[in-house]
């Protein structure tokens, strides 16, 4: 497990210049890059924007300097003495046949059902304005449904202009019903922003898009980084059902704010407030939610 963990962070896209300058552009903030022995720190204002398995000396340095960060630890979160509030799931690289054996019965059953419903997969690389419009419309619908903060459209435009970006798109009768924006770098595939149409949640579209990403990663011998999530949430339990290992995270400052805010995100008034903040201060909203996957 330790060897696989180290391998998954050996060529970490979140430490790359490509990702760092993307974050610089979408926030409008000046990037500062620090090198601490063999560790690179990408900092905007007082925040390290790159999620990584930072060594202890780097974590202690950032604490002393008052730099906020999120570091992934080589510990299974649900087996640790004090599980972290957020965790980082990884499906380590393997052949699809082996990955399929790791799916739980429910995921296998619903994936088979999804395959019979006529969904079509398209993988998009590079910037395409009509496609970004289509993705963004579905993104807005999804984020309003879950009461989330909303990124501006230019975030998606900049995302799809990156050489390492790609989008998994699921269509039904020529209608976009699910999407997942990702980065592919070296030995890794990173899930970033994703969403689905509410009318297709009961038609197993989530199972379809996850299964397609897993097939893609397995065919190319890639680790699949599934994106940070809240421990015990439906999203992260879903990721565990496909065989992902959820790793403990260390966050500085500690996660007290997230623990307070998370329960109230289910209320409609929070979604209204998040929408207003997102429209008034789009760049500040992006920065506030960093580091993200």
Angle between helices 17-27 and 153-161 (to 10 degrees): 160
For residues 10 and 39, is the Cβ–Cβ distance under 8 A?
Answer: no
- Architecture of the structural domain at 2-289: 3-Layer(aba) Sandwich (3.40)
Give the domain ranges of the chain: 2-289
Q: What is the pLDDT along the chain (293 residues), one digit of tens a residue?
A: 889 999 999 999 999 999 999 999 999 999 999 988 888 899 999 999 999 999 999 999 999 999 999 999 999 999 989 999 999 999 999 999 999 999 999 999 999 999 999 999 999 999 888 999 999 999 999 999 999 999 999 999 999 999 999 999 999 999 999 999 999 999 999 999 999 999 999 999 999 999 999 999 999 999 999 999 999 888 888 999 999 999 999 999 986 667 777 888 888 999 899 999 999 999 999 999 999 88
pTM over 0.75: yes
């Amino acid at each position: 497990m330790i060897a696989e963990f180290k391998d998954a962070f050996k060529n970490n896209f979140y430490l790359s210049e490509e990702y760092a300058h993307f974050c610089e552009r979408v926030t409008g903030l000046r990037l500062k890059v620090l090198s601490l022995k063999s560790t690179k720190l990408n900092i905007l204002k007082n925040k390290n924007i790159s999620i990584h398995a930072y060594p202890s000396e780097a974590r202690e340095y950032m604490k002393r300097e008052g730099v906020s960060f999120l570091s992934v630890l080589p510990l299974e979160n649900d087996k640790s003495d004090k599980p972290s509030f957020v965790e980082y799931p990884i499906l380590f690289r393997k052949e699809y046949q082996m990955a399929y054996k790791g799916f739980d019965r429910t995921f296998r059953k619903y994936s088979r059902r999804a395959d019979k419903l006529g969904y079509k997969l398209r993988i998009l690389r590079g910037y395409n304005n009509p496609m970004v419009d289509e993705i963004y419309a579905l993104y807005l619908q999804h984020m309003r449904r879950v009461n989330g903060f909303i990124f501006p459209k230019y975030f998606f435009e900049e995302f799809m202009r990156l050489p390492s970006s790609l989008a998994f798109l699921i269509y039904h009768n020529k209608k976009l019903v699910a999407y997942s924006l990702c980065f592919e770098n070296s030995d890794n595939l990173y899930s970033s922003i994703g969403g689905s149409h509410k009318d297709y949640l009961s038609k197993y579209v989530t199972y379809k898009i996850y299964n397609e990403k897993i097939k893609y990663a397995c065919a190319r011998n890639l680790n699949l980084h599934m994106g940070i999530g809240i421990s015990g949430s439906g999203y992260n339990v879903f990721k565990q059902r496909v065989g992902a290992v959820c790793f403990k995270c260390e966050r500085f400052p500690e996660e007290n704010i997230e623990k307070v805010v998370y329960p109230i995100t289910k209320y409609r008034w929070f979604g209204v407030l998040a929408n207003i903040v997102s429209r008034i201060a789009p760049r500040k909203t992006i920065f506030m939610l960093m580091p993200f996957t």
